Each structure stands twice: as structure tokens, then as C-alpha cells.
Amino acid sequence: MEALTVAVLMGGTSAERAVSLASGQMVVEGLHQKGHRVYPIEITADGFWRNREKDVLAISIPCSVMEALDPIPDIVFIALHGPMGEDGTVQGLLETLSIPYTGSGVLASALGMDKRKSRLLFAGAGLLVPPHLMIQDHRNIAETVQSAENLWGYPLVVKPNDSGSSLGVTITRDSRQMPENIEQAFTLSQQVLLEPYLAGTEITAPLLGNESPKALPVIEIVPPGEFFDYRCKYNGLTQEICPARIPSVQLDHAQQIAVTAFVLLGCSGFARADMIISQNQIYLLEMNTIPGLTRESLVPKAAKAAGLSFSDLLDQIVKLGLERWH
């Protein structure tokens, strides 16, 4: 590919800001290696755009966006995770500015961020998803907890509807822990999901492509603790086995599920589908439309197993972004 001017968007206002800064740094280095002219833009914790090369911290958001996007890039590589980055908002802003960007478009990004809405689509297409009950705006907490206890018993998983990196996700074994865990999830989302704990093997399937995405090798995740929590995701102690040690029919099935889910949401570029195999059935947990790109991250690992170096992977994502745009 010819050398391009790429602005890498990182940081942001979400709880996953630190992860995004780590992803962004890796993306800058990787694209640089490929000979692109790369400049980092950090969205500060309070939402200002800052072109790190120029280091001007503009005062108002509308003018700072254009100030930061200078020179006008051939494409923006969005290395943001979580709300206000992975959820279609930044994608919409770039659409209105007519600037190409990597990854999924507005609708797919918004759907991917919303676990409940994306699951409705997945289930509608016959994919197996965990059952859940939702608590909205702190209403009916006691009744919903009671229903979840009656339906599934403990342990129950409490999670924010639209966060990531396992932030706010807890496995609750006792009704006395519920109020605190629910409150914690509410600090990250207006909607909190309660679902049964699915014991089994956790796997994840990265995807690459636009209309006809290809699944990369499936990775099995073996966290040292109870589940794949925020710490385990980034401390290097989790075993990530690629390809997953599951029968090849199940590997194929997991890849099919991931591809179907990608197409259903209308994703583009790259994504990663999280799944759990429990009692021999594959449950689709969620689709991540901007999966992590840090040193510890799963997509680069799967790409490597498929013979694609980290910088090759980034080059592909950029190429797919431009293809989609044109």
C-alpha cells in the first residue's frame, strides 16, 4: 500500500481510556513501521482533542477537532474503546466531516456497544445468547434481583449494558453482595444486566473484512482467577491459547457464529466476538467493534497465528477502512 497520512485517535472520556492509550501507542508504532505518516490525536479525559504533534490544547471542542485534524489525514484510525469512541459517536462526527475512518460505521458501532440490543438481533437470527434481565435507571432493583434468583439462582453475573474491558462486571455468589455490585455497574451505564453464570470454556473469535469477513483463529482464554476481569485482561497472567483446545467442529461453529454476528450488526474492518462454551453449547456474549490492540490483546495474537504481523494487521484494517469508504 502507498504511504498514507493517518491520524490515530486515542484516549477519550470512557472508563477504558488507559487501555485506549495503550492501543493507540501500539497503532502509532505499527503504522509508522509500515512507512505511513502517522500522527497521534489524544482525546483528553474531559473530551478535548489534542494533536500531540502540535501540542495545542484548544479551548472549544468544535474548533479543536478541526485544529487537531491537521493535516487532514487520508484516514483516521480510531483506537478508542467504550462509549464516545466505540459506540458510533466519533464515527458520526467523522462521517459529517467526510473523513474516512477504520472499523465499523455508525449503526454497527452503536449496536455493538449495546449488549442488550445486539443480543436481540443475534437471538432473532437463531444464535444462542445468555438469557438476561435488565434493570433500567435504578428502577425495580429488588424485584428484578428476585426474578433472577428464582430463574437461575446464584452465581449471577452483574454487568453494565454498555461498557467494556470487564469494567463493572462481577460474579455474585450471594444476595448480600447484589446491591453493591449493581451500584458499581450503574456507575458505568444507565442499564444493568443480570444473567446466569455460565460455567465452561471462554473463547474469542477475531474477525477481519468488510462484507465477507474472515474469522481468524479462535483463542481460548484461561484466566488465573474466577473470570476474565479487567486485571486479567492486561496483567499478562491469563493463558491465551491459540487455536483453542476444542474439537474442530466446535472451532468451525464458533467462527461461523462470529461471522454471522459480524454481518448481522453490519460491522466493518475488524471486530472480536466473545463466547462461552457451556454444557457443549456456544453462547455468544458480545461483539466488540474496536477490540483492544495493546501488547496483551487478543486480535493481534490471532492475527499472528494466521501469519499476519501486528503491522500487517494494522495495514489491513486501514485498507479495509478505505475500501469501505470508497
Residues near ligand ADP (CB under 6 A) are 130, 157, 159, 163-166, 169, 195, 197-198, 202, 227-228, 274, 276, 285-286
- Nearer Cβ to ligand ADP, position 114 or 315? 114
| Spatial distance between the Cα atoms of 292 and 304, rounded to a whole number of angstroms | 15
| Spatial distance between the Cα atoms of 188 and 168, rounded to a whole number of angstroms | 7
Choosing among ligand ADP, Mg ion, none, which partner's interface includes residue 227 (Cβ < 5 to 8 Å by kind)? ligand ADP
Taking each helix axis from N to C end, the angle separating 115-124 and 248-265, rounded to the nearest 10 degrees, works out to 110
Active site includes 64?
Answer: no
**What contacts 127, CB < 8 A, 6 or more positions away?**
257, 260, 261, 284
Task: Check residue 315 for interaction with Mg ion (CB under 5 A).
Answer: no
**What contacts 142, CB < 8 A, 6 or more positions away?**
none
Choosing among ligand ADP, Mg ion, none, which partner's interface includes residue 315 (Cβ < 5 to 8 Å by kind)? none
Active site includes 286?
Answer: yes
Would you say 97 and 69 are in contact if contact means Cβ atoms under 8 Å apart? Answer: yes
Q: How far is the CB of 276 from ligand ADP (least distance, A)?
A: 6
The residue annotated as part of the active site, out of 165, 189, 297, 311, is 165
- Binder to Mg ion among 86, 240, 274, 315 (CB under 5 A)? 274
Which grid coordinates belong to 49? Answer: 482533542
Residue nearest to Mg ion (CB): 274
The residue annotated as part of the active site, out of 12, 30, 112, 292, is 292
The dihedral through the CA atoms of 219, 224, 229, 231 has a sign that is negative
Choosing among Mg ion, ligand ADP, none, which partner's interface includes residue 228 (Cβ < 5 to 8 Å by kind)? ligand ADP
- Nearer Cβ to Mg ion, position 166 or 250? 166
Active site includes 272?
Answer: yes
| Spatial distance between the Cα atoms of 177 and 150, rounded to a whole number of angstroms | 17
**What contacts 56, CB < 8 A, 6 or more positions away?**
50, 67
Active site includes 23?
Answer: no
Residues 146-205 close enough to bind Mg ion by CB under 5 A: none
Q: Which residues are catalytic?
A: 16, 165, 234, 272, 274, 286, 288, 292
Residues lying near Mg ion in the complex (CB under 5 A) are found at 274
